[in-house]
Structures are given as structure tokens and as C-alpha cells.
């Protein structure tokens, strides 16, 4: 967790610095960014993490992992912004904001519930001690009005060789075209698991091509692997939500 915390803190510091060194095409954009200092720390490779854990995207285990991993990112990102505020000062419109009024994102579900006048069935439990973050914000404020955002990361994920954003695998073998050219995208985790079971051969390659990167109709692949390697096409939308 210490490495995770250091990574998140470094990323937030870098994003905050971008605000000051960025090129702004309009004065309005520059004024807004310098006044509110919003950043959007995102992530990619969520599906890769599930492959490492041997957990299917379409499972309660994946939901539990998402809950815990995203809480860690949120905890350390918000804390980092507050620590930068200690060093460099809070963003200029901090006064009167939800941060200033003692709210963290988790609290705003309760606010939404009151406004809707109906229950919102979202798990509000936490594994971290958020009082540490609350005290830091109360004492030093926040450097950034917004801290996190989930971006698509489609192209940079391809360049890095991991799955995009928080999305499930599209297909295990497909070609992708953009302005830079055409690229073949394969799932290295599936290939390794097939190799470990002596199932990776020319026939398997042909089958993956024939079935368009989907596993359902390839009888040689065991059911447990089909479960772990469900694609966006196979997963019920409820799991995505």
C-alpha cells in the first residue's frame, strides 16, 4: 500500500504542476484553471489487475476489489491535494466549497439521497480511516477543486500494452485502426494461461481468428478460463455498472 500511496501522490503533484505550465488557447480557460485548479487523476489496466488476481470481471470479487482499490486511490489522491495546499496554498475558490464545508465525496451520497427523497442503495462502508483526510482538509484546505476522473485512455493503454481505463477486455484478438496506423491487439494473459495448459498452438490461433477473438465457441478452452476471460460482449451490463 505504501507504493500505491506514493504513486498516487506523485501523480497528483504532477497534474497540479501541469496547471501552471500548460498552454491555454483561450484566456477564459487559463483563468478558470488557475482559479479552481481542477485535475482528473484516472487509471487504466483495471482488467489487467483482475487477470493477475484470476478474478472474472463478472463477479462479486471484482466488485469488492473495485471498491477497495478505488477507495485507496480516492483516499491518497484527496490527501495529496490537501498536502499540496499545505505547501502552496488552497485553490482560490476553496472557501464555501463542499470541501470547505467538511464534505468528502463519500458524504455526498447522503446529500443526493435527501434531495431525491428516496433511498440510494450504495455501499458506504470504508476500509480506511478517513478522519485523517478530513482533518487535513479542515486544517490546510484543498489545492484542487476536482481531483479524480475516469478517462477512456484507449490509445495510451494500447501503447502501454494494458487494458483501457476501467473497461473489460473488448476481444482477445482484434485489429484497431487510428491515425497512427493499424494495430493488432492480443491478450497476453490469456495466451500465457493457454500455454500453461498446453493449449496454445496453431489451431488455437486459427480458432481465435475464426471466432473473432471470442472464446465461447472454442470447445478446447475450459469453462474456468472462459469465466475469467469474459469479454465486454459476454458480460451482463449490471457488472459494468
Tell me: the pLDDT tens digits for 60-113? 999 999 999 999 999 999 999 999 999 999 999 999 999 999 999 999 999 999
Contacts of 128 (CB under 8 A, 6+ apart): 71, 72, 75
Q: In sequence order, what are the residues at sequence separation of 6 or more whose Cβ sits closer than 8 angstroms to the Cβ of residue 137?
A: 78, 82, 99, 102, 104
Q: How far apart are CA 108 and CA 36, in angstroms?
A: 20
The structure's pTM equals 0.91
pLDDT for residue 129: 96
Closest CA to 19 of 4, 33, 35: 33
pLDDT at 35: 97
- Residue 190: which H helix or E strand, with range? helix 188-196
Instruction: Provide the CB-side half-sphere exposure for 18 (13 A, CA).
Output: 11
Instruction: Give the pLDDT of residue 202.
Output: 96
Q: How confident is the model at residue 181 (pLDDT cuts 50, 70, 90)?
A: confident
Cα 172 to Cα 63, 101, 159, 230: the distances in Å are 22, 47, 16, 9
Amino acid at each position: 500500500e505504501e507504493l500505491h500511496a506514493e504513486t498516487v501522490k506523485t501523480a497528483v503533484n504532477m497534474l497540479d504542476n501541469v496547471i501552471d505550465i500548460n498552454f491555454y488557447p483561450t484566456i477564459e480557460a487559463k483563468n478558470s484553471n488557475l482559479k479552481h485548479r481542477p485535475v482528473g487523476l484516472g487509471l487504466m489496466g483495471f482488467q489487467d489487475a483482475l487477470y493477475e488476481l484470476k478474478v472474472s470481471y463478472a463477479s462479486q470479487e471484482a466488485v469488492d476489489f473495485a471498491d477497495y482499490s478505488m477507495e485507496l486511490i480516492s483516499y491518497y489522491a484527496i490527501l495529496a491535494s490537501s498536502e499540496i495546499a499545505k505547501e502552496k496554498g488552497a485553490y482560490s475558490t476553496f472557501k464555501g466549497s463542499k470541501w470547505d464545508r467538511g464534505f468528502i465525496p463519500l458524504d455526498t451520497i447522503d446529500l443526493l439521497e435527501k434531495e431525491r427523497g428516496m433511498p440510494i442503495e450504495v455501499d458506504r462502508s470504508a476500509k480506511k480511516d478517513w478522519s485523517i483526510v478530513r482533518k487535513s482538509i479542515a486544517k490546510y484546505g484543498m489545492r484542487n477543486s476536482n481531483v479524480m476522473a475516469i478517462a477512456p485512455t484507449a490509445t495510451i493503454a494500447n501503447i502501454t500494452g494494458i487494458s483501457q481505463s476501467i473497461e473489460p477486455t473488448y476481444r482477445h484478438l482484434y485489429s484497431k485502426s487510428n491515425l497512427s496506423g493499424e494495430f493488432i491487439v492480443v491478450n497476453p494473459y490469456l495466451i500465457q494461461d493457454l500455454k500453461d495448459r498446453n493449449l496454445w498452438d496453431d489451431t488455437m490461433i486459427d480458432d481465435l481468428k475464426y471466432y473473432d477473438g471470442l472464446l465461447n465457441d472454442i470447445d478446447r478452452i475450459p469453462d474456468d478460463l472462459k469465466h475469467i476471460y469474459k469479454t465486454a460482449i459476454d458480460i451482463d451490463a449490471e457488472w459494468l455498472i
